[in-house]
Structure 1
């Protein structure tokens, strides 16, 4: 009996740790190597002749229009992972994204860090974000990328309930940093870029270093030029054939790229 009484408090002390571990454990998919090798669909790997171009954190009436004008000039459409609160604040800008032919996806309602378990909040906020995108733009979002790329168990479950597919990235520009430059963003993207990859950039500095979006904007023409010089199309996730999606199988767009695909090499001039 005494041993049982002693074991009770010990089990009670361990239980919160187990709960937190179960909550944050799926966030290990943030690790690029693990994601590419074990979860290629989550990494955003698609058909080998295509690169998916994606932007996070908008829409922003100050910076997003510059990206839209530049993308028009480049003849490229992209996927914008928007925050629900920003769609509510700037509905005209969200509608403009759709009007110009870009795909809207969900980045959450806010850009908070999910360290404490709150599955009810995750479900409520993600469902709210999906509803706002549909109401404002008429688009039905297909994809979800969590803030900071951190997929907790609560976010996984909320994503499934909302009918979304989680997609992270295979290459990013680290364009949110104070020291980001057009050259550093372009070099960082191309260092990890392969055919079938998904590129992450940001069309706003709302949760980044002030003015950092300008580095991403200036790097964008070179990134697109690099892809085209390598014989790769650039477009939204909708056209990417992400590994494991029904759309990719139904479209019959060829076998998706594997983790052993040859690394991207640019032959375009800087």
Structure 2
């Protein structure tokens, strides 16, 4: 192999590593380290507050049920919307914002960022940002990459659009087949602490069919648990990030 080819291979490898490096923070065993080193990115905020977030909507079958439950409990949350779902039902996006919830960007398509070029990344995020802004009348402040896997291009694009990337400190594994209200509740509360950000899903568009029913079943118990701990519940905007 010539020196030129070797040098080109080194450069290409370096560029690939730089592109993919942020994805390392998504590895589950590294989540506690992520929270310690990058608390804002991990969603660690005010110790007396819990940020409640939902991904993958808006879904006309399931999202309205979550909105009704949250309204009954007097709780608002942050909804990370998918552009292609919002495009199908922009009115539901307006309904989310009108109910006092915070709208945020989860991308246009729910595909791994590692498989996209920088241009594809920019196109996806810009399209989603424009759709959320137009449909809801709100300028989204937050971005969460699909699967929690970011790339350098995704982070740069998000910040260029005025969005802060944010992940979570506790999830419910509610996308899995076989998830139940009890399993979602137990998984969320296993390591939930004050200042944490909860990841749940109000749609099954990228999850096991009807998995959202387990999430909806768990939600009242989760709200009760947070209240019993003396934590205020709300959107990321009130989380002190």
Q: How much has 1:19 moved relative to structure 2? A: 2.0
Distance 1:117 1:90 in 2: 26
SS where residue 108 of structure 2 aligns?
Answer: coil
Kindly report which structure 2 residues correspond to 1:200-219, keeping only aligned pairs within 5 A, or say none. 200-219=199-218
SS where residue 192 of structure 1 aligns?
Answer: coil
Runs of 4+ in 1 over 4 A off after TM superposition: none
Equivalent pairs counted in the alignment come to 238
Q: Deviations over 1:149-182 (max 9, x none)?
A: 0110110111111110011000000000002110
Q: Deviations over 1:41-100 (max 9, x none)?
A: 001111111100000000000010110111111111000000111111111111110111
Q: Unpaired runs of 5+ in structure 1?
A: 243-270
Aligned to 2:125: 126
Kindly report which structure 2 residues correspond to 1:169-248, keeping only aligned pairs within 5 A, or say none. 169-242=168-241
Aligned to 2:5: 9
Distance 1:196 1:116 in 2: 32
Q: Deviations over 1:132-154 (max 9, x none)?
A: 11111111110000000011011
TM-score by length of structure 2 reads 0.96
Aligned to 2:22: 26
Residue 170 of structure 2 contacts residue 192 of structure 2 at CA under 8 Å; is this kept in 1?
yes
Q: Deviations over 1:113-132 (max 9, x none)?
A: 12235112212221221111
Distance 1:201 1:25 in 2: 25
Distance 1:162 1:217 in 2: 32
Q: CA RMSD in A?
A: 1.2
Distance 1:6 1:141 in 2: 49
Aligned to 1:267: none
Pick the structure with greater CA Rg. 1
Q: Unpaired runs of 5+ in structure 2?
A: none
Residue 51 of structure 2 contacts residue 198 of structure 2 at CA under 8 Å; is this kept in 1?
yes
Aligned to 2:77: 78
SS where residue 51 of structure 2 aligns?
Answer: strand
Residue 107 of structure 1 contacts residue 145 of structure 1 at CA under 8 Å; is this kept in 2?
yes
Q: How much has 1:9 moved relative to structure 2? A: 2.0
Residue 56 of structure 1 contacts residue 81 of structure 1 at CA under 8 Å; is this kept in 2?
yes
Residue 56 of structure 2 contacts residue 82 of structure 2 at CA under 8 Å; is this kept in 1?
yes
SS where residue 25 of structure 2 aligns?
Answer: helix
Residue 182 of structure 1 contacts residue 216 of structure 1 at CA under 8 Å; is this kept in 2?
yes
